[in-house]
Amino acid sequence: MKSYISSIFLSALLIFQVQPMIAHYILPWFGGTNSVWSAVVLFFQIMLVGGYLYADWLSKSVSNERQWQIHGLLLVLAAGLILFLGLSWPAPVIPSSSWKPTTVEQPVLYIFFLLAISVGLPYLTLASNSPLIQSWFSRMYAERSPYWLYALSNAGSLLGLLSYPFLIEPALRLGEQGWLWSGLYLAFAILTFSIAWRVSRAKQSSPVAHRAEDYASSPAAISLGQRLLWLVLSAIATLMMLAVTNRLTQDIAPVPLLWILPLTIYLLSFIIAFSGEQYYHRLGFLILLSITSAGLIVAPLIPNIPIILQIVLNLLFLFAVCMTAHGELYRLRPAPQQLTHFYLLTSIGGALGGIIVNFVAPLLFNDYWEFYLGWMITYLLFLFLGARQINSNQRKQTILIGATATVMSILIGYTMVIDGQHAIWRGRNFYGVLRVV
């Protein structure tokens, strides 16, 4: 049991330490804009999809005896790549200054290229670890739900994210950070290889019939609608996390700490939501979302609002959005036999949210209108989820949720129209938005 916990926790910590580390390093290469962080987050979301896809394939299509061989080989290749880059660059996962672009017409694509070379393969193995370990755990301990390990994984992610700006970055030079991360990765690879080897040789637990009320569906009864909800809920959480990040860094200051705070809220909501259904109450978070939404609507009308109050208001709003999305995701979780499929679709949804912010929105919009659209979609999700329970015993609560969601959607649309009238010209590219008022 301890080895499962250690492997999941360590992999999650490494995932969210390398993101701010490498983003901080390449930030000056691309003009110091907050869009660098959005591009870095999108790359790692796409790699997360790759890791979850690999985990889903390995756990379902490969025999138990061969899984450790395939996964072990991947871990060895990733470790070898880290050691090779450590000899070629100042430190592993830290690109040499010779890789700095002289002219970049497609900054996002070049950032993807840099990250793929420096950390792509190791990150793929880290990304696949949580669903794989949970899948192996459910085989060995069939009587226990594996979903608490996902909350543990996000706790490790949160520690990795917060430890970098407050502990690692002030204490170590960049090269030392790269070597420390690489050393921890090698420890992770050895630990995970040993788990895979033991699982392949251990006697599997007999399947356990879980109670129907514990999960939203049985392994054979996952509907298309449920899959679409997994995608939409995970996409809206990521979209709003990046949209709030853009909002904070554009309106307040483009500093790396303001990049990390929204992602911290995002991870915290995962930890709380996947720790158990008792921590998520739909009506309670609708109230929090409505209060913070009203604050965001009124705030532009009040002159000289303190910066701290603006930050807190945006973060509380984001917390309400993410808790709603992830709380509903946890309610819709399938039985453990479909665990890797569930995580695969949620990761695809997260990547879609990042793609919308980084690629689709700049092509369609001349300002950060995706913030308003994501805001409205969150309330429409409340309407839809409430309508699904219209015949339940909670009729009054359902009507209240529907009425509140309808009124707030109208107010958000009105606020978007008013905001659009303030500028006589707007332009948007990778580096931000320029307005003439």
pLDDT in tens, 211-248: 444 555 555 568 888 999 999 999 999 999 999 998 88
For residues 195 and 130, give the distance between their C-alpha atoms in angstroms, rounded to a whole number: 13
Token output for 309: 């109050």
Q: Provide Rg for the chain, Cα atoms.
A: 22
Nearest residue to 82 via CA among 154, 166, 153, 188: 188
Amino acid at 192: T
Query: CB under 8 Å to 112, separation ≥6 — which residues?
Result: 39, 43
Q: CA 269: distance to chain centroid? A: 10
Q: Average of pLDDT values for 16-23?
A: 93
Nearest residue to 39 via CA among 251, 242, 285: 242
Query: CB under 8 Å to 33, separation ≥6 — which residues?
Result: 254, 430, 431, 432
Share of residues in the chain with pLDDT > 70 (%): 93
Share of residues in the chain with pLDDT > 90 (%): 54
> Is the pLDDT reported for residue 85 higher than 50?
yes
pLDDT tens across 120-148, in order? 999 999 999 999 999 888 888 877 778 88
pLDDT band at 103 (very low <50, low <70, confident <90, very high): confident
**Rounded to 5 degrees, what angle do the CA atoms 370, 232, 402 make?**
85
Residue 96, φ and ψ in degrees, nearest 5 = -65, 150
Question: What pLDDT does residue 291 have?
Answer: 93
For residues 192 and 12, give the distance between their C-alpha atoms in angstroms, rounded to a whole number: 13
Question: What pLDDT does residue 205 have?
Answer: 52
Counting beta carbons within 10 angstroms of the beta carbon of residue 153, is it exposed (0 to 12), middle (13 to 18) or buried (19 or more)? buried
Query: Per this entry, what is the length of the chain?
Result: 437
CB 356 within 8 A of CB 303: no
pLDDT band at 209 (very low <50, low <70, confident <90, very high): very low
254: helix, strand or coil: coil
pLDDT tens across 256-284, in order? 678 889 999 999 999 999 888 888 998 89
Question: What pLDDT does residue 244 have?
Answer: 94
Nearest residue to 130 via CA among 52, 234, 227: 52
334: helix, strand or coil: strand
CB 143 within 8 A of CB 333: no
